[in-house]
A and B are shown apart, each in its own frame.
Chain A
Amino acid sequence: MNILDKNISELADLMDKKEITSEEIVKIYIQNISEKGLDKTVYKSLCVEEAIKKAKKIDKKRKDGAQPGALAGIPIAVTEDISTKGILTEAGSKILKDYIPPFNATIIEKLLAEDAIIPGKVKIPEFSLEDSEYSARCVLDKGALVVVGSSGGGKDVIKLEPSYGLVSRYGIISATSSLSPLTLVAKEINDLALVLDIISGYDRKDSTSVDLTQRDGSFKHNTGKAAPPVSPTASDVAPVSKVKIVRELSNNNLVEDIKKLGINTEEIIIETAKYILPAFRILSSAEFASATARYDGIRYGYRSDNYEDREELYKNTRSEGFGKEAKKTIIFGNHVINAGQYDRYYKKSQQVRSLIKDEIDKILKDGSILLLPLSDNLDENLKKSYKELGSMTGYPVLSIPYRNAKDEYIELSLLSSGFDEKTLIQFADKIEKILDSHGGGE
């Protein structure tokens, strides 16, 4: 029995049956992390002692007959820009050197309240300004079952960017104000859905978080026990009426594959697509420049040794503390909001953003979902554009890995209306199984 191959439900089952303890699971993961060198390649910092201590506590809880939390004993990692009380949180930067938050991010509070074990904090590039594969690597190499954070690159994993407002942004350092703050990375959809269940919800510390009291139940689509053997048919792929595929991303084989399953498909064009990336860059850079203005060397983080007066303290701290990409973004971001440029760039981008959202709303109005097949062979900029569609609309994007008959890697990104994660999760779970059973590349 390889514990590292078990998903969350299976591990919970084993613990219920007393076949394994939380402590044993955590130790197996920690051993694997060290054997594979993940402590150096993937993790920025580990919290081994803390994790084992917590696991022991959970085991005792279970022994005493108390009901442990929904994620009891399950290793869930976070990226290093998620604030953790008393634990180093540098957000991949030098400017936050040695910064230790005095509080937990809300998602950390929620994970801990459900007895999740946080084995450590996964690396990111400086403030996640660039794509990184650390989270994906962590999951694939079994450093944790799910990684919650700002690292959303990498292949062969399932990723979910939740709707803006579904998950509290409080304590997420790389988050900019209006763009999607998080990606959940896992190997199995159900694991991802279980974690989403825990971390989502209204938070009074985040005014933009949404109160979804009417949300009907859990995101996970079955009881959490091991899934029954599936003999998939198209009728299982409800409640999605239609899958709309963006033509310029479309891939003949894929469309055929999906059509063969009897799923209603339509090829469409997104007129505003060419504006996604420029508008995204302007908005995200402006928000980044504003959010990072507080890193001035006064209260925490890095401070230059080399200064005579206040002005120099600021200049040298920020010149030495920020990396190249951050500086570029800050300069660009400040440029687009300066008094002379604001209307031309920032305001225009906001208008463009609402046009994009309007168009997507029209596309999704009939209850369909959007499929963005992001093939390895696509133009890099084109791919980047569509990758930011979720962030620009605030809508959820669930991506599943797929290899076609020619072994071409395609990330199947599914986008739905806001707060419709449940549909995406159900649909993705089915389609994944169907594609698997119909051959694909494997």
Chain B
Amino acid sequence: MDKDYEIVIGVEVHVELKTKTKIFCACTTEFGGEPNTHCCPVCMGFPGTLPVLNEEVVNYAIQAGLATNCEIAENSKQDRKHYFYPDLPTSYQISQDELPICYNGRLDIEVGGNKKTIGITRIHIEEDAGKLIHRDGLGTLVDYNRSGVPLIEIVSEPDLRSAEETRAFLQKLRAIMLYIGVSDCKMNEGSFRCDVNLSVRKKGEKEYGTRTEMKNLNSFQSVMRAIEYEAQRQIKEIKDGGTIIQETRRFDQDSGKTFSMRSKEDAQDYRYLPDADLMPIVIDKARIEGLKKTLPDLPDVRKKLYMERYGLNSYDAEQLISSIDIADYFEKAVKLCKNPKTLANIMITEVFRIVDTDDFAAPFSYKHLAELVDLLEDGTINSSTSKKILEEMIKEDKSPSVIVKEKDLEQINDVDTLLPIIQEAITSSKKAVKEYKGGKEKALQAIIGKIMGKTGGKANPETTIKLLKENLK
């Protein structure tokens, strides 16, 4: 990255809401289903049909706004955004132009120990479109099952300055949406979609550079890669004496590059028009207050709690609040065990290795995990056997104490038991002993390895090292 340049990033995030029914009709929003089985004349845009707003969508948008510190508009309205595409049955998308439901919000992020506040320009509601399916021999078909599924679009201020900040912001945003339960935020199913606006400028400059918009970013990884590629591309273009064209660019997963889709010159005029088929959206204070009460503790509140009450560091706390399911799991387990730090450590290093943190499903009960933490804590097992026990727990969700008994995994703390094994290891490791005595501390590892091998990893590591060193004097 060129040190003379600064990247300026703003994001637009589409979050699919998990209301039971679509935004303007009573059709189900369930994902999948045979093509065109979740639709009706309204969401297929038949002549003379009219939209009726699902108030639950407004509630979800208000909750999203409250959770991101937005102001909630007392009066807002819905507008038609016109463009022709076969997946858009009315040839206009009902969205919000001038008066979104939420505006002027913000989110705090933390990157590399630095805290930063990112502005949220607005959150508005809109409808999703259907889907084109290309079939050899049949041509292009349209499935309207997704048509009319409610979305919120969250637009950030251009406050982000790096790929890491962008990822932190998006992760925080996604976590919040999951916490408040308005969406399942599955990036691979398209229920959490990010577009990134990026421009570069010489450091110290006041004016923003010309920005490009990147689409087709379906993982945080893609977002990062696209930002890095696009920033380099823009800087190089400018340095080579070229100019940046305001355009939409598609990110290609395979090459890691972005490609021009359309430039602003052939950008569509969406001909926004207030949708007079729908009444203005009026939101009173009582409704907002009522919804406020339904919100759970948000990530930042929990993070603070984990640091203050459980003594976790900022990084660990951040990992545990990344989803409400993980946080809830942690909170249930932490109440049953003696050492929160050990619990956090096992969750982050061991549990996160085997589960999908984006779609957390507990591999075993929190009670058993808490029990494992206590077994470690009171010296019944050591950390290497704890890994074996975890493997057993994944196979079968059993109490770790039972596993310890069944598999004979209890830690050997007894000096009389350990000593002969240690002495035997010393005699059979001539080379290592020589090296150690020659000042090579690391050579000790080979001998420890032998002891652990002999004891099936059950030897108390601290006792072993202490005894080993004594016997090598």
Contact = CB atoms under 8 A, between A and B. Distances in A.
A290 B84 contact: no
Interface in A275-292: 286-287, 290
Contacts of A204: 52
Interface stretch (A41-49, A167-175, A362-370, A423-431): A167-175
Interface in A202-219: 204-208
A420 to B, nearest CB: 22
Given A290-B92, A299-B89, A338-B269, A96 B82 contact: no
A173 B48 contact: yes
Contacts of B273: 286-287, 290, 337, 346
A300 interface: yes
A205 B41 CA distance: 12
Given A290-B82, A293-B91, A296-B86, A102 B50 contact: no
Contact of A207 (B50, B80, B86): B50
Interface stretch (B119-127, B274-282, B319-327, B433-441): B274-282
Among A175, A178, A286, A294, max chain B CB count under 10 A is at A294
Nearest to B85: A310
Interface of B: 41, 44-53, 80, 82, 84, 86, 89-92, 142, 269-273, 275-279
A208 B44 contact: no
A170 B279 contact: no
B135 to A, nearest CB: 16
B54 to A, nearest CB: 11
5 contacts: A178-B276, A208-B278, A337-B272, A337-B273, A339-B270
A342 B270 CA distance: 11
Contacts of B271: 290, 334, 337-339, 342
B45 A299 contact: yes
Contact of B48 (A175, A207, A208, A346): A175
Contacts of B52: 204-207
Please classify how large the interface on chain A is, using the bins under 10, 10 to 19, 20 to 34, 35 or more. 35 or more
A314 interface: yes
Contacts of B92: 290, 293-294
B48 A314 contact: no
Contacts of A99: 47
B46 to A, nearest CB: 7
Contacts of B53: 207
Nearest to A127: B47
Contacts of A175: 48
B contacts with A: majority SS: loop
A207 B47 contact: no
Interface in A305-355: 310, 314, 334, 337-339, 342, 346
Contacts of B276: 177-178, 208, 287
A310 B277 contact: no
Given A207-B50, A296-B91, A339-B271, A177 B86 contact: no
Contact of B47 (A91, A287, A339): A91
Nearest to B42: A205
Contacts of B49: 103, 170-171
A207 B278 contact: yes
B50 A294 contact: no
Contacts of B278: 207-208
B50 A205 contact: yes
A442 to B, nearest CB: 41
Contacts of B80: 290
A378 to B, nearest CB: 31
A339 to B, nearest CB: 5
Given A208-B276, A208-B277, A208-B279, A83 B48 contact: yes
A105 interface: yes
Contacts of A337: 271-273
Contacts of A178: 276
Given A102-B41, A207-B53, A337-B271, A293 B82 contact: yes
Interface string A104-120: 01000000000000000
A153 interface: no
Contacts of B269: 338-339
Given A170-B49, A177-B277, A296 B272 contact: no
A298 B272 contact: no
B47 A83 contact: yes
Nearest to B278: A207
A299 B45 CA distance: 9
Contacts of A69: none
A102 B49 CA distance: 11
A101 interface: yes
Contacts of A207: 50-53, 277-279
Nearest to B268: A339
Given A177-B277, A337-B273, A346-B273, A294 B91 contact: yes
B47 A173 contact: yes
Nearest to B132: A310
Given A207-B51, A293-B91, 10 more contacts: A96-B47, A172-B48, A177-B275, A207-B278, A287-B273, A294-B45, A296-B91, A298-B86, A334-B271, A338-B271
A103 B46 contact: yes
A206 B270 CA distance: 25
B50 A101 contact: no
Contact of A342 (B51, B90, B272): B272
A299 B44 contact: yes
Contacts of B86: 296, 298, 310
